Amino acid sequence: MLAHATSPAQDLGQIGNRKPFALSGSLSLQGGPYFYSGDGTARNLPYFWNSTGTLTLSLWGWQAPFSYSVGSQERSWTQPFNRYGVSPYYKWIKLHLGFRSMRFNPYTFAGLQFYGAGVELQPRGFRFSAFYGRFNKPIAQDTLGSIIPVPAYRRMGMGVKIGVGSRRTFVDLMVFRAVDDTASIPEVSGNRSIAPKENIAVGLSGRIPLSKKLSWDFDGGASAVTDDVRAPVMEGTDLPRFSQGIFTPRLTTRLLFAGNTSLRWNSRYMDMRLLYKEVEPNYRSLGAFYQQTDIRSVTVEPTVRIMNGKLRVSGSYGLQQDNIRGTKVTTSVRRIGSASANWNPGRSYALDASFSNYGIAQEAGLRVLNDTFRVAQVNRVYSLSQRVTLINKVRTWTVMLTGGYQQLVDLNPFGTFSSAENEVMYANLHIGRIRMRDNLMVNGGLNANRNSTIGGTFLLVGPSLGFSRPLAKQKLMVALSASYNKALQEGRDAGTTVNANHTLQYRVGKAHRLQLTISALQNKTSFVAAREFTEVRIMGGYVLTFQTKS
């Protein structure tokens, strides 16, 4: 099984202060029977077992983790030398070796992992980054195997970023190039979407303060992508001089643009951000992950802090549309708004409230849009949460009350899409108490959830109760919990669900832990799981943890 592990960047200036060798890890083994009775087939196997382990070897701070997982339903083994990399650094010099990732900006090279080498140099006032490596291993077409892999050409890439400034104030110019090796695998048959590609992308990013409170951020990119390098060469193109000799335009080449810019105003009591973003349809860089394209948006995001920072109110409102080049039959316009308030007057009380409104409406594009089939919807979400905490030398009380409402409404005048409408309401009350002298914890709660769709109205309501307490000088932990929910459908009885869980955990010394868990579920509702059944799972386990002494 292929997996990867990463090592944090290593400061070479601290090698003399680190331990030369360290070993740490854990081993766990658990298993037990599963009992089922009721309608249909069992949801799990009659018996389950699993063993997992991790081992981390450290040499002067350089870490090599190993892990395995073996059980009745899986087998896996991972070790870091399948995909491993290190990033040692000294002062303003940083190297990347092996499987690493770097980032230029969102539209050129945005953190895609490569196998190779890179360097970052950041002396005062100067910024330089460069890398070269492999993005894809060659995978030949195989139509006879039991597991058919997706063919891939070997993809190599390189990039350079140069700029001036610091992390707070900078301007960077970057170039990224990637190309597939057509000779790395035999030609793929029967799938035109898998073809060798080529890409060159240039970008510009910056953060420039305009005053003490106002700053300007921007990211931009231009990407030329050839979907099939075997296509005929285009003649008479006006490419920039820097790209001549490193990129060949062909009949399958397209040049697209993307960018975003924002103005941010910061003060003691208020922040304001104005953001504009535009990404052309099908914009792509082979050095960036998938992102939404064919989009133009304007967003304003204010934040207010008052009462010495105890009350924070923030919000956003924006307009977003597609079909920015006018090539689609219809244009979708989205109105996005949200607001939130956080009030923390002291340690004993907190309140959080939020509201969001997301609307979408189609407008005419290349053709006149018939109102009968015009999509017009709005999705509203409200939520409120309160927390009260009372602490003294004897006990701690915590009370939490949360509630919310969500609604999807069809605004089409003919109700064409009314079948998608739904309404969800929920409320939860939780009360917890901890006794300080023995850490006895008791908690309980009530919950209610109501869901209304075209298929009817469904309600689940019921209490929950639980407690836990350490015994035997903190070596034994005992925990019990249970919940009961009554189901109603269109106001009529629709059954019940009961959950119960019991856990015993015993610690033997610092390294060993034994655990026993018994969980049970009884379902007698028609819509929670569409059948009636009772299931019980018993799970025993052992955990070993170890670490070499400092």
**pLDDT tens, residue by residue, 47-101:** 989 898 888 877 766 666 777 788 876 554 444 445 667 788 888 999 998 889 9
Whether 412 is in a domain gets the answer no
Mean of the pLDDT values across residues 328-335? Answer: 81
pLDDT value, residue 145: 56
DSSP of 193-214: T----EEEEEEEEEEEESSSSE
For 368, other C-beta atoms within 10 Å of its C-beta total 8
Q: Largest alpha-carbon pair distance within the chain?
A: 85
Residues above pLDDT 70, as percent of the chain: 83
Rounded Cα–Cα distance for residues 362 and 391 (Å) = 54
> Whole domain around residue 138: which residue ranges?
91-234+245-289
Does residue 188 sit within a domain? yes
pTM higher than the cut 0.95: no
Side chain identity, residue 488: L
**pLDDT higher than 50, residue 3:** no
Is residue 172 situated within a structural domain?
yes
Q: What is the mean pLDDT of residues 421-446?
A: 94
Which amino acid, 232? P
Report pLDDT for 371.
Answer: 42
**Would residue 219 count as lying in a domain?**
yes
Cβ distance 82 to 3 under 8 Å?
yes
Q: Angle CA(441)–CA(443)–CA(446) in degrees, nearest 5?
A: 175
User: What share of the chain in percent tops pLDDT 90?
Assistant: 55
Cα 550 from Cα 547, distance rounded (Å): 9
The answer to whether the CB of 362 falls within 8 A of the CB of 376 is yes
pLDDT digits (tens, 9 = 90+) for 486-537: 999 888 888 899 999 999 999 998 899 999 999 999 998 866 556 789 999 9
Q: Is 270 part of a structural domain of the chain? A: yes
**Nearest Cα to 374, choosing from 326, 336, 414, 334?**
414
Q: How does DSSP assign 368-398, residue by residue?
A: PPPGGG--EEEEEEEEEEEEEEEE-SSEEEE
Is 531 inside a domain boundary?
A: no
Residue bearing tokens 């924006």: 318
Query: Does residue 324 lie in a domain region?
Result: no
Q: How many domains does the chain divide into?
A: 1
Evaluate whether residue 544 is within a structural domain.
no
Residues 6+ apart with CB under 8 A from 57: 22, 23, 63, 64, 65, 66
